[in-house]
A and B are shown apart, each in its own frame.
Chain A
Amino acid sequence: MRLIEAVREGLREEMAADPGVFLIGQDIGINGGVFRVTDGLLEEFGPGRVIDSPLAESGMVGVAIGAALNGMRPVVEIQFADFIFPAFNQLVSEAARMHYRTNGEFPVPMVIRAPYGGGVRGGLYHSQSVEAYFAHVPGLKVVVPSSPYDAKGLLKAAIRDDNPVLFFEHKLAYNTVRGEVPDGDYTVPIGEAVVRREGRNLTLISYGLSVHHCLEAAETLAAEGISCEVVDLRTVSPLDTRAFLESVRKTGRACIVHEDNLTGGVGAEVAAIIAKDAFEYLDAPVQRVAAPDVPSFPYSPTLEDALLPGPPDIVRVARELAAY
């Protein structure tokens, strides 16, 4: 099954199981979403549960928060993660702190789904990774699945979670990443990382589409005798620190990989945790592979390709690490 179908299956099953689940977004109705994630859901569930919103992200998220406070479980689709910023205030000032500021009286069970990521020649405004902005915010959970199995299971868990969850789907993964997805109901717990590949010499820590780049790099490196462990975070907030610390304590070398730009990214946080809690196990400095600090990916293929981090970058840094 393709990742896009897994997301759709997750939505469909949760909508069928719980009448409180409804969708709100732009072009998600008759058009099925610009990526077709919600294709067929309008026909199946009707316009009361698949709502084409006015073109207003803050309003959309604000409405979803209100509905969540009154017994519903809204799932918002932001058409591209790049367009989430008009709703930043609603997410950070309202959704994230509603439970805290009401001393637990008002949870906000809401999911914000958004396609993220570059490599699709989408230019500066259809290519961004925005998870770090939200991973910084206590009260939000941030999930970035890498496989169809996880996409469905994590989405179902996110919808059932009583907290606001941001759910980022790599748009390039929608139709290129395939995998086994069992029939029927299952969830993947939020906040649990998974080891995708076992290894001895170094640990690659990543999430989302970049996990596949790590796996590809690990294959190349294996041929050179460098054995890589690949940890897929799956959730970038709250982080499953135990999972990557355990791996780093075993391998003694760590490299965090993400498509988001370097400074203040998730990698910085993971590196800080490793430095504090696995310091005496380290045989080399913690490394990061990320996009350079440029405002998103430019349009021209020659320009974008110059900046997109990929398997060769990981291989290069891993060799340095292994040789350290």
Chain B
Amino acid sequence: MPASDGIEPLRGSGLDGTDAQRIYRYMLLARAISEKSWLLTRQGRVLFTMPCDGQEAADVASAYALDRGNDFIVPYARSLGAMLVKGMTTQEVMLNMFGKAADPNSGGRQMPMHWGYKKLGIISMGSSVATTIPRAAGVALASKLRKQNAVTMVYFGEGSASEGDFHEGLAFAGVHRLPVVFFCNNNGWATSVPVNLQSAEPQVAKRAQGYGFPGVTIDGLDPLTVYQAVKAAVDLARSGEGPTLVEAMTIRMMPHSSSDDHLRYRTQEELDAERKLDPLPRFRDFLISANLLNEESDQTMSDSVDQEVEDAIELADAAPSPDPDSAMDRVYAP
């Protein structure tokens, strides 16, 4: 690994050292929020969470490839890293976790980790997986009709790629060569169901071929690889060349959700082995070898991230809950 002064493009990724450090901090932040949220559910202070541990490289680096002020994200429940990159603050995430009135995602109406933030170009998701996929094609269709120079990226898991809406969304986007990137986080599991029970062809990217546009499978544990692949897809989309399906191979280090016990269907040995692939230490080692980080700066960064999360939890916990008198409000738009 060549040493870098911090501004040289890294491994031909198009990112410089400062970008890499930023990406690393977002990854640390996503991990810290995910871990803390898990603890909060164990303490009964937060009622639900969906950890993103193992997916930080994929989420953060993919969102980093967007024009963040202009492009759209249609997220799913494990897209925390992408939300942070898109501009959601730790404070706002924690308001969402605690279901408080000031949660910009839903004002406490949706479960935690259900994102949607108009000001940031984050299109609202519900719990029904894959409904987002044709919706993303629709956002991109509107961009095309309105001559907005925007790309839409939609996130989902490999299990959700079995839904009809996945296929219907891809078909439409392909026909109209829409500026959309389909980002599949293939962590091998849909709750307890392994990917080989989703399809006899578990490589999701191959499905793009059926709809006439490229599909690529990449190492989702390396942010530079993810950035490069997604940037290429985003550029293609923006230039009018249509969609790409990016399949990032990741790991799910934690149970599916705070309501799940993954030891019912996975062994501890398997989980221990997978933990060795954790994208965070891997990227940390890379940054240290590239002289973009050392023990001390790493510690400083971790400390500041932890402090940020602690502060956000304190504020969110103390923030007012939604007014019960508002529970019937806004069923219809005025």
Q: Which residues of A contact B (CB under 8 A)?
A: 20, 22, 48-49, 51, 53-54, 56, 58-72, 74, 86, 89-90, 93-94, 97-109, 138-139, 141, 161-163
Contact = CB atoms under 8 A, between A and B. Distances in A.
A104 B172 contact: no
B330 A104 contact: yes
B139 interface: yes
A72 B105 CA distance: 22
A138 B117 CA distance: 22
B193 interface: no
B136 interface: yes
B106 A102 contact: yes
Nearest to A90: B131
B333 A163 contact: yes
A236 to B, nearest CB: 15
Contact of A62 (B143, B148, B165, B333): B165
Nearest to A70: B142
Given A66-B141, A68-B138, A93 B131 contact: yes
17 contacts: A60-B134, A63-B172, A66-B140, A66-B142, A67-B138, A69-B123, A69-B135, A69-B142, A90-B131, A90-B134, A93-B131, A99-B333, A101-B106, A103-B109, A104-B330, A105-B117, A163-B333
Contacts of A89: 128, 131
Contacts, number: 153
B331 A99 contact: yes
A139 B110 CA distance: 16
B141 A67 contact: yes
Given A67-B142, A94-B135, A99-B330, A59 B171 contact: yes
A139 B331 contact: yes
A159 B123 CA distance: 22
Given A70-B138, A94-B135, A163-B332, A58 B171 contact: no
A70 B139 contact: yes
Interface residues of B, number: 47
Nearest to A48: B145
Contacts of B105: 102
B169 A101 contact: no
B61 interface: no
B18 to A, nearest CB: 32
Contact of A66 (B139, B146, B330, B333): B139
A98 to B, nearest CB: 6
Contacts of B3: none
B168 interface: yes
B21 interface: no
B240 to A, nearest CB: 14
B116 A106 contact: yes
A141 B331 CA distance: 11
Nearest to A68: B138
Given A94-B131, A139-B331, A59 B168 contact: yes
Interface of B: 72, 74, 104-107, 109-110, 114, 116-118, 123-124, 126, 128, 131, 133-143, 145-146, 148, 152, 164-165, 167-169, 171-172, 175-176, 329-334
A62 B137 contact: yes
A58 B164 contact: yes
Contacts of B172: 53-54, 56, 59-60, 63
A61, A64, A66, A94: residue with the most chain B Cβ atoms closer than 10 Å: A66
B182 to A, nearest CB: 13
A105 B72 contact: no
B156 to A, nearest CB: 13
B145 A59 contact: no
B333 A56 contact: no
Nearest to A106: B124
B118 A106 contact: yes
Contact of B109 (A22, A54, A100, A139): A100
Given A71-B146, A99-B332, A99-B333, A59 B118 contact: no
A72 B116 contact: no
A54 to B, nearest CB: 5
B137 A56 contact: no
Contacts of A68: 138
A109 B332 CA distance: 11
Given A58-B164, A69-B139, A163-B333, A105 B124 contact: yes
Contact of A105 (B116, B138, B143, B171): B116
Given A70-B148, A89-B131, 9 more contacts: A58-B165, A62-B133, A69-B142, A90-B165, A100-B331, A101-B124, A104-B329, A109-B333, A163-B332
A101 B110 contact: yes
A114 B165 CA distance: 21
B208 to A, nearest CB: 15
A147 B157 CA distance: 48
Given A54-B168, A103-B107, A106-B118, A64 B138 contact: yes
A173 B149 CA distance: 44
A190 to B, nearest CB: 10
A71 B331 contact: no
A162 B168 CA distance: 25
Given A54-B171, A71-B146, A59 B330 contact: no
Contact of B106 (A56, A60, A67, A103): A103
A74 B93 CA distance: 32
Contacts of B331: 99-100, 138-139
B241 to A, nearest CB: 18
